[in-house]
Copies of this chain bind each other. A is one copy, B any other.
Amino acid sequence: MKIGFVGLGRMGRAMAGRLQGAGHDLVVWNRTREKSAELAAAGAKVAVSIAQACEAREVLVSMLSDDAALDAVALGAGGLRDSMPAGSIHLVMGTHGVEAIRSLALAHAAAGQTLVAAPVLGRPDVAAAGQLGIVAAGPAAAVSQCEALFKLIGRRTFDAGLAPEGATSIKLANSLLLGCALEAMGEVFSLVRKHGVAPQVMFEVITDGLFSAPAYKVYGKIIVDEAYDNAGFTTQLALKDANLVLAAGDAARVPMPSANTLHDRLLGAIAHGDAERDWAVIAREQARASGLE
């Protein structure tokens, strides 16, 4: 397949690497050119402009860090909408807001192009191994056309229906669910500590039974060990996601008090200097609010 790929951060490079490795005709572009070096060495063509990355492409994958970057790359002058061939697909794989996806889908449709949203679940090492979870939504024929790509990148694809922002909402919801588990762990660890119990015992109780899943095992251990300094995902970035999920709730008129609690805890952690720590640090922020730190 003739594929363009824009956005070569850590995730983007890992994903593009899978496509290149499978022998697809790949053209890549990144705002800072150096990040293309490894892919170029592996045989990918490196475009000097977004427009060049779009030439004669069937699918244009974007893996960008936020809505502002997506807006600039897709809707700026000489961007994807201006440059993609009619009939081609913009496969948006980054995490974005529902309104950004909805309005971009309309802009592409007006230009005779199709947007498929397919945010991913997993980190760069999982991407490099082709084991991501992929949540895909968009017009059925277009999603179907992307399946060969999904198979290279992911372990499993979830069909989220015909509205691209549906996939977006699932990705944000999954992140919210994790944040709520972190907040709840923060509350219960403080509660048992103040009743004289070592956090490790609470950790063993929960991960032995109802909560024997990565969300609690991995993050519960970070909390018990207070290993917040080596951030997998920072509090600052988590706040950005929390605001995206709240905006998705606003758009759909869904009041989400747990999302508010998470948002405020992240904000408190940042106010107390934890912006660049792993977002599990909200458990320590909860302890602070309980007079424990």
Contacts and interface: CB of A to CB of B under 8 A. Distances in A.
A272 B290 CA distance: 8
A158 interface: yes
Interface stretch (A25-33, A76-84, A139-147, A209-217): A209-217
A209 B133 contact: yes
Identical subunits present: 4
Nearest to A256: B187
Interface string A274-292: 0000000000000001110
A267 B255 contact: yes
Nearest to A162: B196
B250 A166 contact: no
A156 interface: yes
A291 B253 contact: yes
B213 A121 contact: no
A187 B180 CA distance: 11
Interface string A200-211: 011011101111
A173 interface: yes
A160 interface: yes
B205 A211 contact: no
Given A170-B205, A177-B188, A210-B174, A271 B254 contact: yes
Contacts of A187: 176, 180, 249, 254, 256-259
A69 interface: no
Contacts of A161: 196-198, 201
A268 interface: yes
Contact of A184 (B194, B254, B258): B258
By secondary structure, the A interface counts as helix
A216 B211 CA distance: 8
Interface of A: 98, 121, 133, 135, 137, 156, 158-163, 165-170, 172-174, 176-178, 180-181, 183-185, 187-188, 190-192, 194-198, 201-202, 204-206, 208-216, 239, 243, 245, 248-250, 252-261, 263-265, 267-268, 270-273, 289-291
B260 A264 contact: yes
A167 B250 CA distance: 27
Given A176-B187, A211-B215, A267-B249, A258 B255 contact: no
A228 to B, nearest CB: 17
Nearest to A270: B253
A178 B210 contact: yes
A257 to B, nearest CB: 4
21 contacts: A121-B210, A137-B197, A158-B204, A161-B196, A169-B192, A170-B201, A174-B205, A174-B209, A176-B187, A177-B188, A177-B206, A180-B258, A181-B181, A190-B254, A253-B267, A253-B291, A255-B265, A255-B289, A257-B260, A268-B289, A271-B290
A185 B258 CA distance: 10
